[in-house]
Homo-oligomer: A and B are copies of this chain.
């Protein structure tokens, strides 16, 4: 890549996390600390064709004087984003990811940088992919250097279970945990029997426990219905029970190496952490926003250093 214009080592960087539904920008100081953060619901699906330069302009408005470099990660590098950036193969470390970074024309005479996603193949040969989480993992490696962890779990719509060895992602697998939960709640017979209620940790724990019994997820899902039908479970406990069931199935199948570092929206990350603990897997949470910023800074520094 041509990184000529990103060479100025002393300049400040703007870190951008551009996902499917949200656009987040962080103005950072020379040390990588956040001076100002902005967020808009302008995920890539909300950007009109050709509208990416203008959307970036808008979210960094007023930051111009400080903006020497803009480094972005997430779905902005997907087919539906600004420019499709080829996936980098696993195993991958910060250097491999930095080598996959590509520039896009942003303003006249100025480019912005987009990080690549990762692709890996499981032992079964089926590919798996991520876009954005790889930067968070690199950030976690920076933030948690020396504390030691066996794997990283990114909670969310599509939960990611990442194996890390010697500073590199050696493999990962994605589970449709959160999306299946949302779709079943909104559109299945189970959703129709759910009533709102206060958080029910006991129901969640029962769901996690149930995931270890025989007969598989599709049978366990029907059991949610029968438990309510025969009066063994309250309708207001269904949502937490279902969540525990799906997270339990995910964890038993993914079998993350402990200790597990759990990232994601705080409430969901805490659910995974609790389920890990119930299954005897040592786990702690890490704020994913901090990890994203640290990862983008680490990648930017590597680009700057190499070019200098």
Which residues of A pack against B, CB within 8 Å? 119, 122-124, 126-129, 158, 173-177, 179-180, 183-184, 186-189, 210, 213-219, 221-223, 226-227, 229-230, 232, 246, 249-250, 252-254
Residues in B whose Cβ lies below 8 Å from that of A175: 215-216, 218-219, 221-222
Number of copies of this protein chain within its complex: 2
Q: Are A187 and B186 in contact (CB under 8 A)?
A: yes
Q: Are B226 and A180 in contact (CB under 8 A)?
A: no
The residue that A123 contacts in the complex, of B128, B183, B214, B246, with Cβ under 8 A, is B214
Residues in B whose Cβ lies below 8 Å from that of A176: 188, 218-219, 221-222
Residues in B whose Cβ lies below 8 Å from that of A246: 218
The distance from the CB of A160 to the nearest CB of chain B, in whole angstroms, is 10
Residues in B whose Cβ lies below 8 Å from that of A126: 210, 213, 223, 226-227
Q: Report the Cα distance A307→B120, complex, angstroms.
A: 70
The distance from the CB of A212 to the nearest CB of chain B, in whole angstroms, is 10
Q: Report the Cα distance A175→B177, complex, angstroms.
A: 18
Known: A129-B226, A186-B187. 16 other contacts (CB 8 A): A122-B214, A124-B214, A126-B210, A126-B226, A127-B230, A127-B232, A128-B222, A128-B223, A173-B215, A174-B226, A176-B221, A177-B218, A179-B188, A218-B246, A218-B249, A218-B253
